[in-house]
Chain A
Amino acid sequence: MAFDPQVRWGLNGQVSLRDEEFGALAYHHGTRRLVFLKSRGLVELVRHLDQYDNADLALDALVATEERGRYRTALASLAASEVIRGR
């Protein structure tokens, strides 16, 4: 799914997240793919994404300004692997 930061996003219901020291493992039960989230900050963002009207608002609220570009790219790749879904 293409990533549009202007809509609401959230963790895909088919995905389980497991916290790890480095961040988290995400497992998509449908595609059977394992994805690595490589920072705690990204895990927090993903967990709370659906509480914001759109992804840019979530980024503004949860991520430091200088980090937003990097996290936006990470969200786009999580969208491509269907770990997160647009609502």
Chain B
Amino acid sequence: MAVDVSLRDRFERGLAAPICLTWELTYACNLACTHCLSSSGRRDPNELSTDEAKALIDEIAAMQIFYVNIGGGEPMIRRDFFELVEHAVARRVGVKFSTNGTRIDRAAATRLAATDYLDIQISIDGADAATSDAIRGAGSYDAARRAMDHLQAARFGPFKISVVMTRDNVGQLDEFERLAQHYGAQLRLTRLRPSGRAVETWEALHPTPEQSRQLYRWLKDRPEVLTGDSFFHLSALGESLEGLNLCGAGRVVCLIDPVGDVYACPFVIHDEFRAGNVREAGFADVWTTSELFTSLREPGNPGACASCGSYDACRGGCMAAKFFTGLERSDPDPECVFGHGEAALAAKQVLLRPRSFPDHSRRVAVSIASR
């Protein structure tokens, strides 16, 4: 989906409702991935009830948000998971949900395959157990593969295999592609953000500049690979990648967390980017009237990037990546392909990386029982 410039300018000023709404159903998770954006683990006692969640779905339908990206935590841990999915689908709100796959047994796969308007993304972070489990925990890769086997056996159709690109798995791109082909699945690659627990691990895990260039070339050759528009900072390397190629935070994108807090995007679960709560006046009110979103829809200031000939291609990159590495919004992206971000980081005399954000991490190690 290539988008022309006039339309991109419109999107930067915000739309009547989001295009890409992510809703984290729960902070509970049976894994403890080292790069978890929402620092998930323990359920929050204040999470939306089934009735509140259904009311939110009704509002999403009324706003004509065509589909919602459900995540967590592990969304399938919620006992009302299927009830909520079916409530959404019955109102023509499509559901795309991300899961670690541990709850997809034969019965769940059969039920999922029978539901319309449903997309599933199963997450792995390596093309083999050793690479993936290093991030997602022992047994997680095999559990994800079993889920894929169940979906295939249940004839779910083309599900998605979702991979966060790291220093350890960029070298496995061709293997991911083969795995997707094996299942008749679609491959989806996304960018590692330094958010949530990745505040601690991003430094060691984010791809090297050479790997980023390799990834860009690989993606250019494969427009069918999905990216959730997350690598637009790489568009400065040449021709734009597929997608809107802009920071959609608060403009076409936002996140609702399990307790109903609304954030500008899935990668900025932090007070500074909290626009409101759906329990107060409803989601539509937050989307249309919040001060934060109004300010995010004002024309962007190119800041330090103003003199760079590629600003129009990358728009200064990802707001969340800057924020959590200690950069300002007017600074270059920390992974700027010309190295301007690294230079900006090196030039800071004092680097204050944000620390306080909701943390639901469990305090004990986890392991996956095989089934």
Residues of A at the B interface (CB closer than 8 Å) are 16, 18-22, 25, 27, 29, 32-34, 36, 38
Contact = CB atoms under 8 A, between A and B. Distances in A.
A27 B68 CA distance: 13
Nearest to B89: A29
Interface in B143-193: none
Nearest to B13: A21
10 cross-chain pairs, A with B, having the tightest CB-CB distances, nearest first = A27-B66, A18-B64, A22-B10, A20-B16, A20-B15, A16-B66, A29-B117, A36-B7, A29-B94, A16-B64
B78 interface: no
A29 B92 contact: yes
Nearest to B15: A20
B3 A18 contact: no
A36 B66 CA distance: 13
A36 B3 contact: yes
A21 B3 contact: no
Interface residues of B, number: 16
A1 B7 CA distance: 26
B94 A32 contact: yes
Among B3, B6, B64, B119, the most chain A Cβ lie within 10 Å of the Cβ of: B64
B78 to A, nearest CB: 24
A34 B2 CA distance: 11
Interface string B27-68: 000000000000000000000000000000000000010110
A20 B19 CA distance: 11
Contacts of A20: 10, 15-16
B1 interface: yes
Contacts of B119: 32
A25 to B, nearest CB: 7
A32 B121 CA distance: 14
Contacts of A33: 1
Contact of A29 (B7, B10, B66): B66
Nearest to B96: A32
Contact of B16 (A16, A21, A32, A34): A21
Contacts of A29: 66, 92, 94, 117
B16 A19 contact: yes
Given A16-B64, A16-B92, A34-B66, 17 more contacts: A16-B66, A18-B16, A18-B64, A19-B16, A20-B10, A20-B16, A21-B15, A21-B16, A22-B7, A25-B15, A25-B66, A29-B92, A29-B117, A32-B119, A33-B1, A36-B3, A38-B7
A11 to B, nearest CB: 14
